[in-house]
Structures are given as structure tokens and as C-alpha cells.
């Protein structure tokens, strides 16, 4: 047998389609419809390829410095990774373990969480959502377990968790257990937990450059937390790959951070298109969950999520559905440009 027992037990993640066969309007993986900051182009034009002869900075010093200034933390409270998926994976490895009980996360959430549990052999308890798909933090306080991980806003529902509920969870949760908040979509309207880091040394906030910064192809994510938690993440990284973030990514990340005005403008536009698109769907008799992200979760009675997905795909529009109760009726639609969403509306009117 060529494989380890460990390998045979793995349950792997299915990423959203990235089709190469024809041109689709891609509204299935929550990418930003706008290009990243135009400053990046001039930095790349001036880049001396001689620098690629050397290994990148394993500490991502300059990028961490910039991130620390942006978020009002010290550099030692910032960890950078190859996409937030890698950052999350390191968090699972460093903070969660079955010897302390089961890991708690919502029953409907980012589907990579159970995959990391399988990879690291962490037992978990998928905590049901309320009937309106919101998260009840009281259930997490009751169960405790070995730690908590929540996306805010949650995915794929897009619903944000108010900061006071998160503070309630942290106030009532054991200080020696870690709470990880995955803020992949927070810039699109949810309340960030970054301001709570100074108060709760057991809180880790995971962020990405893939969504609001329009850099999904770059693979850059980071964690903001107490120095103790960040230093554990460095230990995990250095036990796995000392150079996960390449020279170009570090440089592009720094440049993107220096163009706040550009990002503020495109984020504002996405939020405004989301509001108009949600209102138009409601007018057409669709149900739409209240979204604080760059996607909406929606359903139309009489149609399954798969049917909506297939009908749209035939017309060259890709969205995502989940073959999973209780969200089988829903599709998740990424917010694109105004004209993209008008095309979606026109297409669904013809169903
Ligand atoms: N968290 C959530 C909730 C996501 O939806 C995604 C995107 N699939 C990620 C994290 C990972 O993003 P990335 O690895 O591109 O930073």
C-alpha cells in the first residue's frame, strides 16, 4: 500500500469551480470584480528580478510592520501566511486539540473547517444556527469545548455577528481556550473584532487580501492576535515551511495597503450594488438573507439551489449552491459590477 492510514482518512475541500473552458461571469468564489490597486502595476514594472535569486524575508517584516500600523497593534501581534486558508490551518494546528474537548463552529459555515479537523484529527461539534440563520453565541458558552471558530460575517449566509455578542462570548469563555474569528469578508459591512484583541489575549482574528483587496490570485492572508498566539503560529509555520510568502507577494501586499482611498471606493461601490441587487431580488419574490459581505445568499420557492445554479450556468453565469440541509434551496451569488448584477436579474426573470 502506497499511502499512510492518515492519508486514507483525509476528507478534502472542494474549491469553487475555476473553469478554463469558456468565459463565464464568475460569481461563484467571492472574488472582487475590480482589479487590485493600480499602484501595484508600477511597482511590478520597476521590480528588479535579481531579487528573486534570494529567499524572501521569512518573517515578512515590512509587511507585518505596515499591517501593525494599519490595525494599531505591535508588529509581534501580526502573522502573515500564504492565503488565509493557510493562516486558518496554522490556527487549527496551534490552538485546537481534542485532548481539551471538541472544537465548536456553526453547523452552516465555511466548509474548510471540518476539513482541517480531519487533517489534524480534531473532534468537532457543529453548533446549529437559529432559525433565521444567525449565530447564537449562548450555545458556545454552554458547551465550551476546546475552542471556537466563527467567520464574521458567516459564510455562506453572509450574516454579520454584532460585536456585543462576540464580546459576550469572550467574556464568558475560558481564558485558556482560543476563539478564532475569520474576518475574510468583514470589510463589506460587519463589525471587526480587531479592537478587542488588547482585552482578550485568547482572541485571534484572521484576515485575507483575497476579497476586499482584490488579490485572490496572490495568496496572502494574516492573523492579528496577542503576541503569545502569534508566536505559536510562527512555531507552526517554521515546522512546516519557513518561506510560505514569496518576495513578490510581500511587496504587493505592502503596496496594496498604501492605497486605502482606492479600496474604500471599490468597497463602497460593491456594498451599494449589493443593496440594489438584494432589493431587486426581493421585488421578484426571492428571499435574501441580510448580507454584510460581498455575496448574498438567496432562494426562490419552487426551485432548488441546484436548479438555480444550472439555469444560470446555461446562460454563462456561475454561482454556488450547497447540497446540504438546511441550505439546499439557496444559492450564493458574489456581488460583481452593477452591469453584472443586471445581467443576473435579466437572466432569472427569464427562468
Ligand atoms: N474564510 C472564508 C470564510 C472564505 O470564504 C475564504 C475563501 N474561500 C477564506 C477564508 C480563504 O480565503 P483565502 O485563502 O483566499 O485568503
Distance from Cα 227 to the centre of ligand 1, integer Å: 24
User: 319 and 254 in contact (C-beta within 8 Å)?
Assistant: no
Vertex 85 angle, CA 75 and 38, to 5° = 70
Residue 254 has pLDDT above 80, yes or no: yes
Summarised one tens digit per residue, pLDDT across range 290-322 is: 999 999 999 999 999 999 999 999 999 999 999
Quickly state the pLDDT bin for 333 (edges 50, 70, 90): very high
Summarised one tens digit per residue, pLDDT across range 16-35 is: 888 887 789 999 999 999 99
Quickly state the pLDDT bin for 14 (edges 50, 70, 90): confident
Say how many C-beta atoms besides its own lie within 10 A of residue 339's C-beta: 10
The fold of the 5-36+261-350 domain, in CATH, is 3.90.1150
208 lines ligand 1 (CB under 6 A): yes
**CB contact set of 328 (below 8 Å; sequence gap of 6+):** 304, 305, 306, 321, 322
Q: What number is the average pLDDT over the span 41-45?
A: 95
Which one of 15, 84, 91 would you pick to mutate in the ligand 1 pocket, going by the greatest count of ligand atoms within 8 A of its CB? Answer: 84
216 lines ligand 1 (CB under 6 A): yes
Residue 335 has pLDDT above 90, yes or no: yes
Query: Which is the closest atom of ligand 1 to the Cα of 216?
Result: 15
Distance from Cα 253 to the centre of ligand 1, integer Å: 17
Q: What number is the average pLDDT over the span 128-137?
A: 97
Question: In the prediction, which pLDDT does 18 show?
Answer: 83
Summarised one tens digit per residue, pLDDT across range 77-103 is: 999 999 999 999 999 999 999 899 999
Query: Which is the closest atom of ligand 1 to the Cα of 85?
Result: 14
Residue 233 has pLDDT above 90, yes or no: yes
Q: Could you state, in order of their start, the residue ranges of all structural domains in the chain?
A: 5-36+261-350, 39-257
**H or E element that contains 119:** helix 112-120
Q: List, edge to edge, every strand of the sheet that includes 103-106.
A: 78-81, 221-225, 203-208, 178-182, 147-151, 103-106, 124-127
Distance from Cα 181 to the centre of ligand 1, integer Å: 12
Distance from Cα 213 to the centre of ligand 1, integer Å: 13
Summarised one tens digit per residue, pLDDT across range 164-194 is: 999 999 999 999 999 999 999 999 999 999 9
**E-state strands within the chain:** 25-26, 78-81, 103-106, 124-127, 147-151, 178-182, 203-208, 221-225, 287-288, 295-299, 317-318, 320-321, 330-334
For strands 178-182 and 147-151, give the pairing: parallel
Summarised one tens digit per residue, pLDDT across range 211-226 is: 999 999 999 999 999 9
Distance from Cα 141 to the centre of ligand 1, integer Å: 26
109 lines ligand 1 (CB under 6 A): no
Distance from Cα 85 to the centre of ligand 1, integer Å: 6
Which one of 208, 256, 333, 335 would you pick to mutate in the ligand 1 pocket, going by the greatest count of ligand atoms within 8 A of its CB? Answer: 208
84 lines ligand 1 (CB under 6 A): yes
Distance from Cα 184 to the centre of ligand 1, integer Å: 6
Question: In the prediction, which pLDDT does 108 show?
Answer: 97
**Mean pLDDT taken over the chain:** 96
The fold of the 39-257 domain, in CATH, is 3.40.640
User: 224 and 181 in contact (C-beta within 8 Å)?
Assistant: no
Phi, psi angles (nearest 5°) of residue 101:
115, -170
For strands 295-299 and 330-334, give the pairing: antiparallel
Amino acid at each position: 500500500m502506497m499511502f499512510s492510514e492518515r492519508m486514507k482518512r483525509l476528507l478534502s475541500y472542494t474549491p469553487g469551480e475555476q473553469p478554463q473552458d469558456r468565459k463565464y461571469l464568475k460569481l461563484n468564489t467571492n472574488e472582487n470584480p475590480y482589479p487590485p490597486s493600480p499602484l501595484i502595476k508600477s511597482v511590478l514594472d520597476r521590480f528588479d528580478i535579481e531579487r528573486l535569486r534570494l529567499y524572501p524575508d521569512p518573517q515578512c517584516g515590512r509587511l507585518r510592520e505596515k499591517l501593525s500600523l494599519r490595525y494599531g497593534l505591535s508588529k509581534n501581534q501580526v502573522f502573515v501566511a500564504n492565503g488565509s486558508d493557510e493562516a486558518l490551518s496554522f490556527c487549527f494546528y496551534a490552538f485546537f486539540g481534542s485532548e481539551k474537548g471538541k472544537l465548536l463552529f456553526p453547523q452552516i459555515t465555511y466548509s474548510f473547517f471540518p476539513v482541517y479537523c480531519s487533517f489534524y484529527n480534531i473532534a468537532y461539534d457543529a453548533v446549529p444556527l437559529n432559525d433565521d440563520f444567525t449565530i447564537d453565541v449562548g450555545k458556545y458558552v454552554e458547551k465550551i469545548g476546546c475552542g471556537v471558530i466563527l467567520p464574521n460575517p458567516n459564510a455562506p449566509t453572509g450574516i454579520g455577528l454584532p460585536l456585543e455578542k462576540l464580546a459576550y462570548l469572550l467574556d464568558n469563555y475560558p481564558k485558556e481556550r482560543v476563539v478564532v474569528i475569520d474576518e475574510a469578508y468583514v470589510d463589506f459591512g460587519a463589525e471587526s473584532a480587531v479592537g478587542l484583541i488588547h482585552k482578550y489575549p485568547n482572541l485571534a482574528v484572521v484576515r485575507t487580501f483575497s476579497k476586499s483587496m482584490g488579490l485572490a490570485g496572490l495568496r496572502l492572508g494574516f492573523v492579528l492576535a496577542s503576541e503569545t498566539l502569534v508566536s505559536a503560529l510562527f512555531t507552526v509555520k517554521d515546522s512546516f515551511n519557513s518561506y510560505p510568502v514569496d518576495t513578490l507577494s510581500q511587496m504587493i501586499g505592502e503596496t496594496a495597503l498604501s492605497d486605502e482611498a482606492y479600496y474604500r471606493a471599490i468597497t463602497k461601490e460593491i456594498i451599494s450594488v449589493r443593496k440594489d441587487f438584494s432589493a431587486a431580488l426581493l421585488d421578484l419574490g426571492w428571499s435574501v438573507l441580510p448580507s454584510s459581505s460581498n455575496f448574498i445568499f438567496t432562494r426562490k420557492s419552487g426551485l432548488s439551489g441546484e436548479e438555480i445554479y444550472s439555469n444560470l450556468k446555461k446562460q454563462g453565469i456561475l454561482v454556488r449552491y450547497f447540497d446540504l440541509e438546511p441550505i439546499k434551496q439557496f444559492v450564493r451569488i458574489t456581488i460583481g459590477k452593477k452591469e453584472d448584477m443586471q445581467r443576473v436579474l435579466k437572466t432569472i426573470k427569464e427562468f
